[in-house]
Structure 1
Amino acid sequence: MTRTTTTTARGPASPRAMMQALAGLSAAQHALLDEISRHPRPVTVADVAAAMGLHQNSVRDSLAVLVDARLVARTRLPAVGRGRPSWAYESVAPTQAAALSREFADVCDAVAEHLATTDPDPEGAAHDIGVRWGRRMMDLLAAGPQAPADDLVDAHAGRIRLLMSSLGYQARADEPTRITLHQCPLRTEGAVPVPLVCQMHRGMLDEMLQTMSGGAVVGTLTPFAGADYCMIEVGASS
Structure 2
Amino acid sequence: MEKNLAAPGSDRVSAAHAAHAEPRRDTGGRRHASTRERLLREVETHGPVSTSDLVTATGLHENTVREHLERLRRDGRLRRIRAQAQGRGRPGWRWQAVPADVVNPYAGLALALADSLTHAAPDPVVRARSAGIRWGAAIAEDHPDAAGPTRALVIDLMREQGFAPEPAADAGDAIVLHRCPLLAAAARRSDVVCAVHEGMVAGIVRSRDEAADAVLLPLRAEGGCLLHLRAAS
Asked if 2 retains the 8 angstrom alpha-carbon contact of 1:177 and 1:235, the reply is: no
Q: Which residue of the partner structure matches residue 179 of structure 1? A: 175
Q: How many residues align?
A: 145
TM-score by length of 2: 0.52
- List aligned pairs for 1:215-226, cutoff 5 A: 215=211, 217-226=212-221
Counterpart secondary structure, 1:137: helix
Deviates more, 1:123-132 or 1:195-204: 123-132
What letter corresponds to residue 173 of structure 1 in structure 2?
Answer: P
* Alignment of 1:163 onto 2:157: yes
Where does structure 2 lack aligned partners over 5 or more consecutive residues? 4-12, 19-41, 48-98
CA offsets per residue over residues 81-130 of structure 1, 9 Å max, x none? xxxxxxxxxxxxxxxx6799622222111110111112222112211221
Equivalent residue letter for 2:138: R
Structure 2 SS opposite 1:221: strand
**Paired position in structure 1 for 2:134:** 132
Pairing 1:138-217 to 2, within 5 Å after superposition: 138-146=140-148, 155-175=149-169, 177-188=173-184, 192-195=187-190, 196-215=192-211, 217=212
1:207, distance to aligned residue in structure 2 (A): 1.4
In the alignment, structure 1 segments of 5+ residues that lack a partner are 1-16, 18-23, 30-64, 71-96, 147-154
Equivalent-residue separation in structure 2 for 1:98 and 1:181 (angstroms): 14
- Aligned partners of 2:134, 2:230: CA distance in 1, in Å? 22
Which of residues 5, 14, 17 in structure 2 aligns to 1:25?
A: 14
Q: 1:125 to 1:139 in 2, by over 3 A?
A: same
CA pair 99-218 structure 1, distance change in 2 beyond 3 A = closer
CA separation in 2, counterparts of 1:99 and 1:178? 23
Report what 1:117 is aligned to: 119
**How does 1:8-157 map onto structure 2 within 5 Å?**
25-28=14-17, 102-146=104-148, 155-157=149-151
Paired residue secondary structure (1:142): coil
Structure 2 CA distance for aligned equivalents of residues 25 and 188 of structure 1: 30
Q: Secondary structure at the match of 1:102?
A: coil
Instruction: Tell me the amino acid that sits aligned with residue 121 of structure 1.
Output: D
Name the residue aligned to 2:224: 229
Q: TM-score, normalised by structure 1?
A: 0.51
Supply the distance in 1 between the matched residues of 2:161 and 2:145 (Cα, whole angstroms): 14
Larger % of helix: which? 1
Quickly say closer, same or farther: Cα 1:235–1:135, change in 2 above 3 A: closer
Cα offset for 1:69? 5.5
1:208 alignment partner, SS class: helix
CA-atom RMSD in angstroms? 3.4
